Chain A
């Protein structure tokens, strides 16, 4: 059974610092890994999707890496801003169809 863990559970940084969020999974046979953002009382917004054959994906200030063999993904957010404050979730999909297994999320606060 796939288990997804996110560390730390919460993170507070001053504006301008880089953020590093970690995600680990127990079964390396994955189809893809996705990072989402969730604002309070809202649904999830897809940030980055990494296919199993890829090592990283980048979008603006966001960069996500994937190391399947070690069961890890890292989301980097450069030069954090207060608007980056949210909960970040990673999710793993084991095949081209089927459910995503989510981690519990990392709650991020960026202070001005």
Chain B
């Protein structure tokens, strides 16, 4: 596609439920990032995928968070047993990858509200 696509754009869920957020990167981009942005705060790194290399999961805040990416395409971020503090905008970004300038292109984000 022309840009990074994320779905759903908005998700309201009840505490304790599981949620899945989807990111479709720009075609040909081998690198994919997930960030979290809580209300009024900066961007918090969650996870990074680069091609077929092992992902950098160092930013995942707890074992309730996981992410998958199939090849160099779609990625899914899953949050299990959601808590109110998980409420945030989850942003996905992609870039061409290694040996590239490193310029990132962001999606519009998925706004998660946990009641």
Question: Which residues B85-115 have CB closer than 8 A to chain A?
Answer: 91, 93, 97-109, 111
- A97 and B31 contact, Cβ closer than 8 Å, known pairs A31-B102, A44-B91, A46-B103: yes
Q: How big is the B interface, by class?
A: 20 to 34
For B105, the closest partner residue in chain A by CB is A46
Contact of A49 with B by CB under 8 A: yes
Interface string of B31-52 (1 = CB under 8 A from A): 1010100000111010010100
Please name all residues of chain B whose beta carbon is closer than 8 Å to the beta carbon of A98 when the two chains form the complex: 48, 56
Task: Tally A-B pairs: CB < 8 A.
Answer: 62
> Secondary structure of the A side of the interface?
strand
Please name all residues of chain A whose beta carbon is closer than 8 Å to the beta carbon of B108 when the two chains form the complex: 42-43
Please list 19 pairs of residues, one from A and one from B, whose beta carbons are closer than 8 Å in the complex, sorted by A's number.
Answer: A42-B108, A43-B4, A43-B91, A43-B108, A44-B91, A51-B101, A89-B42, A91-B43, A93-B102, A96-B100, A96-B102, A97-B98, A99-B33, A99-B48, A99-B59, A100-B45, A100-B104, A101-B45, A105-B42
